[in-house]
Structure 1
Amino acid sequence: MLIAFAGLPGTGKTTVARALARRLAAMYLRVDTLEQAFLASGSSGADIGPAGYLAAYAVAADNLRLGLTVVADSVNALQITRSAWRNVAREAGVRIVEIELICSDATAHRQRVEGRGADIPGHTLPTWQSVLERQYDPWESQHLVVDTAKVSVEQAVETIVRGLSV
C-alpha cells in the first residue's frame, strides 16, 4: 500500500512518518531529501519546481510494484500532488491511505517551526511567516486527520495503524 502524508511544515510529518515506516518495515520516501539532493547535484539553486515530487512518484511506483509498502513524506499541499499520489497507487494496483497531520495549537506549531534544526545537510527550513503564507488546498478526498497537538508520536502512529486496517 501507499501511505501518503500531508501537512504544513512543523506538524510532525517527518517524525511520525519515520516512526510509522519503522513500525511497518516500510520503504520511507521523503520529498525534501530528493529536492535537496537535486540542489546538491549542482542545480542552479533556483526553484526546482516539481522535480522532487516527480522523482518521489517514480521511486514510490517502483517499490510498490515490488510489493513493498511505501510511506511518502511531503507537504503535499496541493490537489495536484494529492491526485498524483492517488494515480501512483492506482497504476501500481495498490491501496492508498492519505494522512494529513495538523497542529491545532498555533503556539506549539510556531515553536516547532522556529525551534527545529535541519536534519538534511544544506536544507533551508521554512520560517513561520512562510508557513502562514503557504498555499494549502482544502481536501477533496477521504483522508485520516491526526492532530499532533493532542497526541504523542506513538499515539499518532497507533491511530494511523488502526486506520490502515479499515
Structure 2
Amino acid sequence: MKKPTLFVFSGLPGTGKSTLAKRLAIETGAVYIRIDTVEQALRDLCHQEVEGEGYRLSYRVAADNLKLGLNVIADSCNPIALTRIEWNEVAIHNQANLINIEVSCSDKAEHRRRVESRLAEVPGLAHPDWESVEAREYHPWQAVDIAIDTAHKSIEASSQELLNIIRVIQTPITTSG
C-alpha cells in the first residue's frame, strides 16, 4: 500500500485557504476535514465554547483515514506551534507523509475585502470581521513545505500553483548509476 499523505493547511481567514484545500480534495480524492465544521458541530451539539476540542477530534478522524491508506487534507488556521506539532505527530504515528501548506494574502486591502465579503458556508458559524482577523493570534511559519500567496491571483492560478508544487514534492528523485 502506498504511504498516505497528510496535507495540513494553515493561514488566516480570508486568504483562500479553504477554497484551495477543497480544490485539492477534489483534484486528489483526499478526505477533507475542515476544523470550522467540526468546531461548529461541537458548539451546536454540546452548547459550549469550543477551543482545542475541534483540533483533537480532527486529529482522530485524520488518523482513522490515514490508517486506511487515504490521503487527508486538514483545513484550519493552525495558528500556533502546538497545533503544528500535533498535526506532525498525527502523520508520524500513522506512517504518513506530511506536507504543510501556508496560505497568505500579502495585499492587506485585498485580504480585507475578502474577509468582509465572505459568504457563510458552515451553518451557524459566524465569520470573523476584519478587526478580529487582524487581532487573531497567528504565528507565521519559520519553515513550511509550501507557501502560497494568493494576492493578485485568481483562485485557479493559485490552485494550479499549489498542484504544480505538490507534484514536484511528490515526484521521486531517481539517480542513474
The TM-score range, normalised by the shorter chain, is over 0.9
1:6-51 C-alpha deviation (Å, 9 max, x unpaired)? 000000111111011000011100000000000110323x3x1100
Match of 2:30 among 26, 31, 43: 26
Correspondence list, 1:12-91, <5 A: 12-44=16-48, 46=49, 48-91=50-93
Q: CA deviation at 1:132?
A: 0.5
Alpha carbons 2:102, 2:144 under 8 Å: kept: no
Q: Does 1:132 align with 2:141?
A: no
Question: What amino acid is aligned across from residue 68 of structure 1 in structure 2?
Answer: L
TM-score of the pair, normalised by structure 1? 0.94
Deviation at 1:126, TM superposition (A): 0.5
State the partner residue of 2:6. Answer: 2
For 1:102-142, what per-residue CA distance to the aligned partner results, in whole angstroms no more than 9, with x for missing partners? 00111110011111121111101111001111111132333
Distance in 2 (CA, whole Å) between partners of 1:74 and 1:60 is: 13
SS of residue matched to 1:41: helix
Greater CA drift, 117-126 or 28-37 = 117-126
The aligned amino acid for 2:67 is R
Q: CA deviation at 1:148?
A: 0.8
Q: CA RMSD in A?
A: 1.2
Equivalent residue, structure 2, for 1:11: 15
Report the count of equivalent residues. Answer: 164
Q: Spell out, residue by residue over 1:47-76, the C-alpha distance to the aligned partner (whole angstroms, 9 max, x if none).
A: x11000001111001101101111110000
Which of 100, 105, 123 is matched with 2:125 structurally? 123
Q: Give the corresponding residue for 1:95.
A: 97
Distance (whole Å) between structure 2 residues aligned to residue 155 and residue 85 of structure 1: 27
For 2:76 and 2:105, locate their aligned partners in 1 and report how far apart those are by CA, in whole Å.
Answer: 16
Kindly provide the amino acid, as one letter, of the partner of residue 155 in structure 1. A
Give the number of the structure whose alpha-carbon radius of gyration is greater: 2
Give the equivalent residue in structure 2 for 1:143. 145
Rounded Cα–Cα distance in structure 2 between residues aligned with 1:38 and 1:149: 33
Asked if the contact 2:101–2:148 (Cα under 8 Å) also holds between the matched residues in 1, the reply is: yes
- Give the stretch that moved more between structures: 65-74 or 133-142: 133-142
Tell me the amino acid that sits aligned with residue 141 of structure 1.
A
